[in-house]
Amino acid sequence: MSVRYRARAGGRSVGWWARRVVVLSVVAAQVFAATWAYDIPNKVFGWQMFNASSDWQAEIVRVTATGDRHDVRDPWPGGYRWEGLVLGRGLDRPFARAHASAGLDSTFDFLQKALDWVAINTPRDTETVRLEATVTYWDNGRGPFTRTFTSSGRSEQRP
Amino acid sequence: MSSVTLAHERPGVAQALTRFLDGVGDLRQLELLRIAIGPIVILHLWPFLQRSLDGIAYSDRFFQPYVSWYPEAPREVYFVLLWLAVVSAVALSAGAATRLAAVYTAAFVAYNLFLSQLNFVHNRAFLCLLLVGLTLVPVGRRFSVDSLLRRRAGAPNLGSEGRLWPILLLRFEIVCVFVLSGLSKLIDPDWWGGTVIMLRFVDGRAEAEASGVPVWLLDVVVTDGFNSAFAKLAVLTELAIGIGLIFKRTRLGALWLEVGFHVAIEVVFSVQVFSYAALAAMVIWITPSARDRLVIVCGDARRTRLARVAVRWLDWTGRFVVSEGEPNGRPLTLVDRDGRSSSGRTAGLFVLTRLPVLFPFVAPLYGAELLAARLRRRRRPRAAAGDE
């Protein structure tokens, strides 16, 4: 059976237009995603696989109203555990040096969002005012460099 | 102008595009992708399934929606939807209620992919695109429970014809995967210079040594010179596959490179389901036209019998019609879809390259055979000129 070609002698059917609109939309969306991926940390549909061999590790602390700093691995008011709150992309095991699986920008973006999420979603903890992560990273072997990430304040989140 | 000459005429880009946009073709080769994709979906869902067995849903941990209005399923509902996806993936592979299974599997994989930014990885996105593609074409009309039930009920065979535009889109996306990946590495000095790849090898050295890889080989692998060359080879391979797939003349070579590429990255780096999905998706490049090549086998020699058995049992994409020739004819003759015929070793190798399971092993032999034939053709006129 060979490939057949169906075309109407005159006029264009709705299907004729619909197929072109769908195909052109997908092509345009892919071109947009590929271009935009160079500006965003997570490279969604940018197809930039294995883009780096960078490493990172983080020390994450809770900062209380008195200014005390407690490692999140220590007992946490409300019985929370860091690895019980965050999962995936190596964010649940940030304490040992590890590969930044989708690049440093992506890891940092998720770490910041994770700190914000944890700050909001730990209502039984009445002591902590914010979370801080001090990140040591190696950018494709260069470094180490240090960067600090701070969660949004918890006081304004509380009812 | 003879019909054979017409068949040889190469359509322009516009004609080829129109053919794919408006044409229909035989898509039975996609049945292979449909069968393979069920286990790949389950493998990709495995981490989510494991968490569900521990009672952990996406909403129990940090998750990050793309948009605030994205529907977030309550945890119990999410668990039900997740396990239903496993059932639908099995049904999709088996070809039971195929259309429904394809739509549900694609819908859940897409829903899960976009549920949280953390869920986005390229291999999942690639799998999602393949699944969406499968919902747009008829799959499940062969090698399926659905077709078996239809046969038992005495209903006529539905045939494998379908619109070609989804194939055009899937091909476009596959080309994009390779070209964009290669391009991003080409313009990155750390990748092109070998730094990225060397650090990967250095990281994996202890593990490789423990698994028995010779130390001398590892010593070579972590040198600057090796990695600089290897990185360039890797980047150019990706680009060669992507660009090679576009053109019919280079497609077979690109597909062969792709097999090696996926096997290599799966062995060295382990890339979740990407290699499996990409290998299964290679059938998308098969011409959507079936049973349009005639294989004539003659005699009862061992080689002839072997060819007959190979074609009958391994021609999973329905490329050939096998016919018995005259007893004293050539052992194997191939009449291609354009009417050209060949015989002997060239024809045998051609046939074997179109049998999916033998393709990776036979393609280099076929390539060498074509090269040798070309060289012979070039030498002949020179020899004739020398005789004069």
Domain count, chain A: 2
Block residue for tokens 């609109």: A21
Does residue B171 fall inside a structural domain?
no
Residues A55-75, mean pLDDT to the nearest whole number: 92
Beta-carbon separation of A27 and B172 below 8 A: yes
Q: Tell me, yes or no, if B117 comes closer than 8 A to chain A by beta carbon.
A: yes
Does residue B227 fall inside a structural domain?
yes
Query: Which stretches of chain B score pLDDT less than 70?
Result: 1-11, 301, 303, 381-388
Does residue A145 fall inside a structural domain?
yes
Cα–Cα–Cα angle for A93, A98, A100, rounded to 5 degrees: 100
Instruction: Give me the residue from B63, B184, B195 closest to A51, CB to CB.
Output: B184
Going through chain A in order, the beta strands assigned E by DSSP cover 4-5, 55-64, 69-71, 98-99, 128-139, 142-150
Does residue B14 fall inside a structural domain?
no
Q: Tell me, yes or no, if B125 comes closer than 8 A to chain A by beta carbon.
A: yes
Q: What is the pLDDT of residue B328?
A: 76
Q: Domain of residue B350: give its range.
A: 293-387
Q: Say if residue A40 is in the same domain as residue A103.
A: no
Instruction: Compare all CA atoms of chain A with the CA of B126 and give the residue at the minimum distance.
Output: A45
Q: Say if residue B318 is in the same domain as residue B367.
A: yes
Task: Tell me if residue B297 falls in helix, strand or coil.
Answer: strand
As to burial, measured by CB atoms within 10 angstroms (0-12 exposed, 13-18 middle, 19+ buried), residue B256 is: buried
Least confident of A65-69, A94-98, A143-147, B267-271: B267-271
Instruction: Give me the residue from B180, B271, B289 closest to A47, CB to CB.
Output: B180
Block residue for tokens 């602390």: A61
Whether the per-residue pLDDT at A11 is higher than 80: the answer is no
- Residue B27 φ then ψ, to 5°: -110, 30
Q: What is the pLDDT of residue B7?
A: 41
CATH number for position B297: 3.40.30
pTM, two decimals, is 0.89
Q: Say if residue A120 is in the same domain as residue A65.
A: yes
Q: Say if residue A84 is in the same domain as residue A153.
A: yes
**Cβ atoms A134, A59 nearer than 8 A:** yes
Residues A132-140, mean pLDDT to the nearest whole number: 95
| Contacts A3 to B, Cβ<8 Å | 19, 23-26, 164, 287-289
Beta-carbon separation of B173 and A4 below 8 A: no
Q: Say if residue B152 is in the same domain as residue B249.
A: no
Q: Tell me, yes or no, if B62 comes closer than 8 A to chain A by beta carbon.
A: yes
Does residue B169 fall inside a structural domain?
no
Q: What is the pLDDT of residue B383?
A: 59
Q: Say if residue A22 is in the same domain as residue A91.
A: no
Q: Domain of residue A78: give its range.
A: 55-157
Q: What is the pLDDT of residue B19?
A: 86
CA distance B191 to B161: 44
Beta-carbon separation of A91 and B62 below 8 A: yes
Residues A37-59, mean pLDDT to the nearest whole number: 91
As to burial, measured by CB atoms within 10 angstroms (0-12 exposed, 13-18 middle, 19+ buried), residue B376 is: exposed
Q: What is the pLDDT of residue B55?
A: 92
Q: What is the pLDDT of residue B31?
A: 94
Does residue B239 fall inside a structural domain?
yes
As to burial, measured by CB atoms within 10 angstroms (0-12 exposed, 13-18 middle, 19+ buried), residue B225 is: exposed
Chain B residues 363-382 within an 8 A CB cutoff of chain A: none
Q: In the listed set B243, B259, B285, which residue is the last one of a domain according to the structure?
A: B285
Q: What is the pLDDT of residue A1?
A: 47
| Contacts A114 to B, Cβ<8 Å | 62
Q: Say if residue B30 is in the same domain as residue B129.
A: yes
Q: What is the pLDDT of residue A132?
A: 95
Mean pLDDT of chain A: 88
Does residue B298 fall inside a structural domain?
yes
Instruction: Give me the residue from B62, B165, B292 closest to A117, CB to CB.
Output: B62
Q: In the listed set B263, B285, B307, which residue is the last one of a domain according to the structure?
A: B285
Q: Say if residue B40 is in the same domain as residue B133.
A: yes
Beta-carbon separation of A47 and B181 below 8 A: yes
Q: What is the pLDDT of residue B29?
A: 92
Residues 6+ apart with CB under 8 A from B136: B163, B166
Beta-carbon separation of B199 and A19 below 8 A: no
Q: In the listed set B245, B263, B285, which residue is the last one of a domain according to the structure?
A: B285
Q: Say if residue B139 is in the same domain as residue B219.
A: no
CA distance B127 to B272: 11
Q: What is the pLDDT of residue A158?
A: 47
The whole-angstrom distance between B384's CA and the closest CA on chain A is 41
